[in-house]
A and B are shown apart, each in its own frame.
Chain A
Amino acid sequence: MRKLLILSGKGGTGKTTVASAFIALSAARAWADCDVDAPNLHLVSGAFTKSIAKDYHDLPKARIDADFCTACGRCHDVCRFDAITVGSVYQADPIACEGCTFCLHVCPEGAITMEESKAGEIFLHTREDQVFSTATLKMGSGTTGKLVTAVKDQIKGVDAPLAILDGSPGIGCPVIASLTGSTLALMVSEPSVSGLSDLRRVVASALQLDVPVAVVVNKADINSKQCAAIKRYCTDEHIPFLGTIPYDPTVVTHLNEGRNLAHANSPAAVAIKAIWERTAALLEVL
């Protein structure tokens, strides 16, 4: 199964818009929303006939039993995550706690236990031969990278030639988790000083993990000078440049109504169709 991941570095450049159109244009049978921090792909994926929800568990978190705590302070001294609150009895903050168990090892009273913690929910939606994997993160929960891997694992065994993965902004753990094992990372950039700066960093992140990259520029006519700068960067770095998408106010109207851009004939929709053809051709040779 080839895995096409949509990334951007900078947020709000149009990852989900492009991913949702590609899902329709490629008649994909498997797709996933790897932006577990701020998922949106479900809004444009339509209705499903079957949905399975599962709890997602983080590492167990420390809990201090007030009946046994003597406020000796050893747990506070060793905790590197500022997760122990000092008081007449000490308390462990389940949001700050990363579950390392150091405090449990040093507590002379045996007052600390590790408690299972629900970090979110993971969903597998199906209709006919299509599957869509997504998740929601519980507020204050931290392990987004592991949750992204769990989201991807749900569609691993699907018998389909292509899976489309909608990524998250940034370059940190969720992005690294989404990049692992991807065939191609398509970067949706925007023509701005920030867009190019962020593009450079996400391209470097992908290449460090040996994932090939290609670039498109969305809302390209907002700033033609910056768009040219991105094209120049791609030429200099030998990165395939797969096209531009014009700023098109009807895109927002379309998405707000939950409609897929693949079924539209607006300037942005036409451009995305041409970009999909080039992306598909590139995927064939990878």
Chain B
Amino acid sequence: MAENLTIAVLSGKGGTGKTMVSVNLAAVATGATYIDCDVEEPNGHLFLKPKVFEEETITIGKPEVDQRRCDGCKICSDACAFKALAVVNKKLLIFPEICHSCGLCYHLCPQGALIEVEQSLGVLSKGYRDDLLVLSAELKIGEPSGVPLIKALINNIKGGITIIDGPPGSGCLVHETIARADFCLLVAEPTRFGEQNLALVHQLVSLMGKPAAVLLNKTTGGANASEEYAKANGLSIIATLPWDGQLARTTSSGDLAIDGSEHYRQYFSHLLAQIVEEARRA
């Protein structure tokens, strides 16, 4: 499998099994890259336990004011779309937690009183598990947006098979995550909650023109709202993964399903081959 293929694993709803599927897929692929884009709550490293060889602090610029130069003219605070700057009694106040780091205030300040200071947003780490490159990043507590971390992570796509473990939801983080994906694997659970959120993320990948298929996880043989959604909306069902208490125990202990089970090793190898096949057709 020498070809280049970036697969994003998504779900809409949290806890459907994105990380379990992503880490097992990545671990059966040869010489692949695993990227954990759930920068708010990264978990892939707990399963893959990579030997980390590099850690990099990702920073973001935030304004600081030189009060000796600032004359309180309000040009910056009037222009800031995010209201991260305010002038009170001729004194400039800065609210870095709502600043989007757009850079406009430095450009506008006639006194040159605003300085951009780099602040840590989180740490990106690179490691290997055998020949699997494992990339993850951890957003600093209290920081509102992990988008710059996700951008830094996906800039490391090096070719070959890349498995991106996505964040939950269908908002800005997910959007950033799938920007570079060739194929999206949607992991869904059989509940109505699962179905609602599958529909949202399916709409998002369709809007972005990404080919996608669904993996029906935790199936019990009973009613499956996600399966009904897929059939009614022309979403390809690539595989089914029945509920298995042993798999739940293995995963909750932070172990890979493929390590203790020939059945799951074959299951995920087969799934990967199917994804490659389906992506090629798309």
Taking Cβ atoms with an 8 Å cutoff, the residues of A that contact B are 8-13, 16, 36-40, 43, 59, 78, 80-81, 95, 98-102, 105-106, 137, 139-142, 144-145, 168-176, 190-195, 197-198, 201-202, 204-205, 208-209, 222-223, 225-226, 249, 252-253, 255-256, 258
Is B13 touching A105 in the complex (CB atoms < 8 A)? Answer: no
Which chain B residue shows the least CB distance to A177?
B144
Q: Which B residues are CB-close (under 8 A) to A12?
A: 13-16, 168, 189
CB-CB under 8 A from B14, the residues of chain A are 8, 10-13, 38, 169
Q: Tell me whether B41 is interfacial, beta carbon within 8 Å.
A: yes
Q: Which of B169, B192, B196, B208 has the most CB of A within 10 A?
A: B169
Q: Is the CB of B204 within 8 A of A140?
A: yes
- Contact pattern, B 231-251, Cβ under 8 Å of A = 1, otherwise 0: 000000000000001001101
Tell me whether B41 and A139 are in contact (CB under 8 A).
no
Contact of A169 among B100, B101, B168, B175 (CB under 8 A): B168
Q: Nearest 9 CB-CB pairs, A to B?
A: A11-B14, A12-B15, A37-B169, A193-B254, A100-B102, A192-B252, A142-B172, A170-B40, A173-B144
Give the residue of B13, B102, B104, B192 whose beta carbon is less than 8 angstroms from that of A258. Answer: B192
**When the two chains form the complex, which single residue of B46, B82, B169 contacts A38, counting CB atoms closer than 8 Å?**
B169
Known: A169-B14, A223-B249. A37 touches B170 (CB 8 A): yes
Give Cα A99 to B146, complex, Å: 18
State whether A144 and B168 are in contact (beta carbons under 8 Å apart), knowing that A172-B143, A172-B144, A225-B253 are contacts in the complex: no
B207 touching A78 by the CB < 8 A rule?
no
User: Are B19 and A194 within 8 A (Cβ)?
Assistant: yes
Is the CB–CB distance between A170 and B141 below 8 Å?
A: no
On chain B, the residues within 8 Å of A195 by CB distance are 252
Binding site for A on B (CB under 8 A): 11-16, 19, 38, 40-41, 43, 46, 79, 81-82, 100-104, 107-108, 139, 141-146, 167-173, 175, 189-193, 196-197, 200, 203-204, 207-208, 220, 222-223, 225, 245, 248-249, 251-254
In the complex, the answer to whether A105 meets B79 with C-beta atoms within 8 Å is yes
The A-B contact count (CB < 8 A) is: 183
How far is it, in angstroms, between the C-alpha of A249 and the C-alpha of B103 when the chains are bound? 52
Return chain A residues, CB-CB under 8 Å to B223.
Answer: 256
On whether the beta carbons of B168 and A38 are closer than 8 Å, the reply is yes
When the two chains form their complex, are residues A100 and B19 in contact, meaning their CB atoms are under 8 A apart? no
- Tell me which residues across on chain B come within 8 A of A9, comparing CB atoms: 41
Q: Which residue of B lies closest to A16 (CB)?
A: B193
Q: Complex: how many Å from CA A222 to CA B108?
A: 57
Q: What is the chain A residue whose CB lies nearest that of B43?
A: A194
- B16, B139, B167, B252: the one contacting A193 at CB < 8 Å is B252
- By a CB distance below 8 angstroms, the chain B residues around A80 are 101-103
- Report which residue of B11, B143, B193 has the largest number of chain A beta carbons within 10 angstroms of its beta carbon: B193
| Complex: A81 Cα to B151 Cα, angstroms | 10
- Rounded to whole Å, the gap between the CB of A22 and the closest CB of chain B is 17
Pairwise interchain contact A140-B175, C-beta atoms closer than 8 A: yes
CB-based contact A137/B170 at 8 Å: yes
Contact (A201, B253) CB under 8 Å given A38-B169, A38-B200, A172-B173: no
Please state if B104 and A101 are interface contacts (CB–CB under 8 Å).
Answer: yes
Q: Is the CB of A10 within 8 A of B167?
A: no
Whether B167 and A106, one on each chain, are in contact in the complex, defined by CB atoms closer than 8 angstroms, is no
Pick the most buried of B46, B107, B168: most chain A CB atoms within 10 A of its CB: B168
Residue pairs across A and B with Cβ atoms less than 8 A apart, 30 shown, are A10-B15, A10-B41, A11-B168, A12-B189, A37-B169, A38-B170, A38-B196, A39-B196, A43-B193, A59-B82, A78-B107, A80-B102, A80-B103, A105-B104, A137-B171, A139-B170, A139-B203, A139-B204, A170-B38, A170-B169, A192-B252, A194-B254, A205-B142, A222-B248, A223-B252, A223-B253, A249-B220, A252-B191, A253-B222, A255-B192
Kindly list chain A residues whose C-beta atoms are within 8 Å of the C-beta of B190.
252
> Most chain-B CB neighbours within 10 Å: which of A95, A140, A201, A225?
A140
In the bound complex, do residue A190 and residue B197 qualify as a contact, i.e. CB atoms below 8 Å apart? Answer: no
Quick one: which of B11, B141, B170 contacts A204, CB cutoff 8 A? B141
Are A172 and B253 in contact, CB atoms less than 8 angstroms apart?
A: no
B100 touches A100 (CB 8 A): yes
A258 and B82 alpha carbons, distance in the complex (Å) = 40
Closest to A137 in B: B171
Bound state CA distance, A171 and B101, in angstroms? 20
Q: A192 CA to B144 CA in the complex, in Å?
A: 26
**Residues A99 and B170 in contact in the complex (CB < 8 Å), given A194-B46, A256-B225:** no
List chain B residues, Cβ under 8 A from A81. Answer: 102
Given contacts A37-B171, A168-B169, contact A100 B104 (CB under 8 A): yes
A48 to B81, CA, bound (A): 37
Query: In the complex, what's the smallest C-beta–C-beta distance from B21 to chain A, in angstroms?
Result: 13
Kindly state the separation between the CA atoms of A173 and B98 in the bound complex, as whole angstroms. Answer: 10
B200 → chain A closest CB, angstroms: 6
A40 contacts B197, CB within 8 Å? yes
How far is B103's CA from A195's CA once the two chains are assembled, in angstroms? Answer: 37
Do B46 and A193 have beta carbons less than 8 Å apart? yes
15 other A-B residue contacts (CB within 8 Å) besides A38-B12, A201-B141: A13-B15, A38-B196, A40-B192, A100-B103, A105-B107, A140-B204, A141-B172, A169-B41, A172-B143, A192-B251, A204-B141, A205-B142, A208-B141, A222-B252, A223-B248
